[in-house]
Amino acid sequence: MSLFPDLAETLPDGVRLWRRRLAPGAQMALLDDVARTLEAAPPYRPQMRTGAYVINRMSNCGSLGWISDTRGYRYEPLHPETGKAWPPIPVELGRIGADCTREAGFADYEPDACLINIYEASGKLNLHRDYDEADFRWPVVSFSLGADAEFLLGGFKRADPTHRLVLHSGDILVFGGPSRLRYHGVRKIFPGTSPVDHSVLPEGGRINLTLRRAR
């Protein structure tokens, strides 16, 4: 039996999904914003505590950015390689995030961080929890751009069963409330399925933006 029977219709409490909330034109406009952001804060491949490198390249915008190095995970105000402040969260991204969180029942959402995950066609993200933020009462908002991704949504222990969900370009997810600390990950990218073609997207790949309240 599945942990979440009929998840396509019934997402667990605290999860809201808007399929293709962003039309292709709006996806392109956000990708233009991402391209400008990555010029100011170039993508890099963080190390983990073990010394191994994270599979996806990453960057951030907002007053704080999520980073990882051999000392561990944390939020920092400066890019670890350029030493410069992260660029601001693009206005339209913040506006859409505020709309979606309001619709999901969270008033006055003011994200101070946005992680940019850049997936090559072979990219993935191992099962994890977003655990480095100060107050888990604030939700995380995810924007999918580019190729489709097989997303796994789990429970509260790593070994709990997971449910599979395919995320498409333009989909927006809000994770909050009782689902804020669920395990989740990206099992695979479906290369070449992007409905939009933008120079900032890796060949066959995907970009995910996650708005967060870090402090």
Phi, psi of 30 (to 5 degrees): -65, -40
Residue numbers 158-177 binding ligand MD3 by CB under 6 A = 173, 175
Decide if residue 133 touches Fe ion (CB under 5 A): no
- Letter for the amino acid at 18? W
Alpha-carbon span 20 to 169, nearest angstrom: 7
- Letter for the amino acid at 147? A
Helices marked H in the chain: 24-40, 91-103
CB of 118 to ligand MD3, least distance (A): 9
CA atoms within 13 A on the CB side of 86: 26
CB of 51 to ligand MD3, least distance (A): 21
Name the packing angle between helices 91-103 and 24-40 (round to 10°): 130
CB of 130 to ligand MD3, least distance (A): 4
Candidate segments 36-44, 62-70, 88-96, 123-131, binder of Fe ion by CB under 5 A: 123-131
Q: For binding to Fe ion (CB under 5 A), which residues are involved?
A: 130
Q: For binding to ligand MD3 (CB under 6 A), which residues are involved?
A: 115, 117, 125, 130, 140, 142, 149, 173, 175, 179-180, 182, 184, 186, 208, 210
